[in-house]
Amino acid sequence: MRLRAFLLPGAVLLFVLGLPLVPFDARVYVMQELTLLFLYAGLAQSYDLVGGTLGYINLGHIVFFGLGAYTVGILFNVGVPLAAGLLAAIAVAAAFAAVVSIPFFRLRGAYFSLATFALVKLMEQIANNLRGLTGGSSGLKILAENRVVPTYYAMFGLLIVAVVTTLAINRSRLGLGMKSIREDEAVARDFGVPTMRIKAQALMISSAFPAVLGGLFVWYINFINPAEVFGLKMALQPVAMAMLGGSGLAIGPLLGSTFLYGLEEFIWTRFEHLHGAMLGLIVVLVGLFMPGGLARLRPVERLLERLGLKEDDQ
Amino acid sequence: MDIQSVLQLVINGILGGGVYALAALGLALIFGVSGVLNLAHGEFLMLCGFVTFLGYDRLGINPFLLVFLIPPVFFALGYGFERILIRPLALRKEHVRLASATLVTLGAALIFEDVASFASAGTEFDKSIGYFIGSLTVGSVVLPSLKLIIFGLVLLLMAQLAWFLKYTYVGLAVQAVTQNARGAQLSGVNTATINGVAFGLGTFLAAAAGALEVIHSSVSPLVGLPLTLKYLCIIVMGGLGSFAGVALGGLIIGLSESIVGYFTPAWGQTVAYLLLVGVLLVRPKGLLGR
């Protein structure tokens, strides 16, 4: 990688790291927005490990987010420190991923998407019904002080880890196996690729990120309820972001989440009504006319090349 | 708990399951032919429920007449939906096509939902036709005649669908494309048209279910996505590609919701998804899947 490849990421890094040091009230708003953007970008990036590299559209990615949020929230309330809670969240999510991968990865293509989508609703209902543990539909409250700056840094750090993980996996043997499954699973299996093991590994790795993000989310917001962390819109948003940006490329989910989140903010502030419809229209147009997402559009590709950020697209 | 209440629960479950199965059949038809996961399916149900409500509320037309008048219009809507939004994706690589179709139908679902919410601002949110017909009493069992009529209509529509699929050229072509699209194409079936027809038919079934739903229950602008999800459950549980499986799945979910919901209301809605995961663990291809 040449030096100029570090120019844009470096500038972004400096801006993000330096922002909390700016002594203006205005930055609070920007930081809140960025925190949520990092959250969505992290979700989209980790979704894309399974959705883009492995080629299985996992509409239930948000399940791990909710699991992480509830694990950390419940443990926090009995006095477990955050770091231990986050580790527990990763363990819970990875264990859950390992268990569900056995029945679910026997399903192919859209069948898999259907079943994982149903999982979201199942988890929402279970969280609603286990009142003793989760507080049911009235939600779970934790007592914590103002955590704006630490959450901001933590979510940003996690996003960077997610991007680096994606890049590393794309170059690894595991990534090669995942891509071979995406292109033709039957052929991959016949050539000796251990498909079931690779799929389970991919899901487990991709589950760790939403679990930690969920834990940080509850720590930041101090309140969660099933309708929010297992909501259908919440489930579909990261998927839409990853596809919009360019599934299968490390830069794709980043571009997609920034674009969609920015657009959403723009629509919310400019128009009074029909925000959802406008957003829906954009999503439809992207699906119709940009099969490869933003990152594979000619002008964007050329720009990325000039910045030295273009990846091998296989 | 006496025999009367048990019967009542079973009857309610079967009747509810019938309407589920009708709409789920539509989704299964679309999925079988095109391989597309139509996330906007429930929105057509909601939309038709709305139109039926307006026809009854504003124009005073008998709702059962509307059940026959409005859903055919939705056939055209579904056909157009496929023509404009799904057909352009046909030539993409398999996993790209799946992703694009997910985006397109999701976006369409968001549009429908938001426009319907916007249109119903200032009016009551849950649209419902409070249609009333006296109940029948057979022995000691009270039968809700309204639900019986609706169930009869569901059976009629399903029988018609079965006849259509079995005895008409287009119906046979739909089955052929479901089994093997390439083979059907090689035998001279115009798969592009059949895709459109499947979307039209599927949307028609969803619309019919929506009209029936608004007569005996209620429809709100937000029911679309959750309902789509429930139909997906039914299809996967019954076995993709098996229409009998879809009917069975609808029945199981209707019955379990009614019975479990009676004892523990909170778990009534959960049981569908629990059952789905259970079924998938034992039979990954669904109950009647091959």
Q: pLDDT at position B287, please?
A: 77
Which region among A38-52, A234-248, B89-103 has the lowest average model confidence (pLDDT)? B89-103
List Cβ neighbours of A78 (8 Å cut-off, separation of 6 or more).
none
Cβ-based neighbour number of residue A314 at 10 Å: 9
**Domain count across chain A:** 1
Contact A80, A88 (CB under 8 A): yes
List beta partners, residue A223: A141
> What percentage of residues in chain A have a pLDDT greater than 70?
96
Range of the domain at A208: 3-307
Provide the ipTM: 0.83
List Cβ neighbours of A212 (8 Å cut-off, separation of 6 or more).
A68, A86, A89, A90, A158
Contact B112, B40 (CB under 8 A): yes
User: pLDDT digit string (tens) for B271-287?
Assistant: 878 888 778 777 777 77
Q: pLDDT at position A29, please?
A: 78
What value does the mean pLDDT take over residues A158-185? 91
Q: Which residue has the tokens 């990763």?
A: A90
CA distance A140 to A61: 21
User: Residue A312: pLDDT band by 50, 70, 90 thresholds?
Assistant: low
Q: Is residue A312 part of a domain?
A: no
> What percentage of residues in chain B have a pLDDT greater than 70?
95
User: pLDDT digit string (tens) for A180-206?
Assistant: 998 888 899 999 889 999 999 999 999
Q: pLDDT at position A313, please?
A: 66
What value does the mean pLDDT take over residues B105-128? 83
Domain ranges of chain B: 15-222
User: pLDDT digit string (tens) for B27-82?
Assistant: 999 988 888 888 899 999 999 998 998 888 888 888 888 888 889 999 999 999 99
- Averaged confidence pLDDT in chain A: 85
Q: pLDDT at position A240, please?
A: 86
User: Residue B208: pLDDT band by 50, 70, 90 thresholds?
Assistant: very high
Task: Kindly state whether A122 is in contact with chain B, defined as any CB-CB distance less than 8 angstroms.
Answer: yes
Is the pLDDT at B119 greater than 70? The verdict is yes
User: Residue A3: pLDDT band by 50, 70, 90 thresholds?
Assistant: low
Substitution target in B102, B115, B225, B231 with the highest count of A β-carbons within 10 Å is B102
How far the first Cα of chain B sits from its last, in Å, is: 40
Is the pLDDT at A80 greater than 90? The verdict is no
CA nearest A156: which of A213, A229, A94, A235?
Answer: A213
Q: pLDDT at position A202, please?
A: 94
Contact between chains at A113 and B37 (C-beta distance less than 8 A): yes
- Averaged confidence pLDDT in chain B: 85
Contact between chains at A110 and B106 (C-beta distance less than 8 A): no
| A125 contact residues in B (CB cutoff 8 A) | 267, 269-270, 273
Which region among A239-253, B36-50, B76-90, B151-165 has the lowest average model confidence (pLDDT)? A239-253
Q: pLDDT at position B41, please?
A: 93
Q: Is residue A204 part of a domain?
A: yes
Q: pLDDT at position A23, please?
A: 65
Cβ-based neighbour number of residue B154 at 10 Å: 25
Shortest alpha-carbon distance between residue B215 and chain A (Å):
27
> Taking a contact as any Cβ pair under 8 Å apart, which residues of chain B between 83 and 142 contact chain A?
85, 88-89, 92, 94-96, 98-104, 106-111, 113-115, 117-118
| A134 contact residues in B (CB cutoff 8 A) | none
User: pLDDT digit string (tens) for A42-72?
Assistant: 999 999 999 888 988 888 999 999 999 999 9
When mean pLDDT is compared over A136-150, B7-21, B161-175, B251-265, the highest value belongs to: B161-175
| A57 contact residues in B (CB cutoff 8 A) | 95, 98-99, 102
Q: Is residue A313 part of a domain?
A: no
Q: What is the pTM of this model?
A: 0.84
Name the amino acid, one letter, at A289.
F
Pinpoint the alpha helices (H) of chain B: 3-34, 41-59, 63-69, 71-81, 94-119, 145-167, 169-179, 181-186, 191-216, 224-238, 243-263, 265-268, 271-282
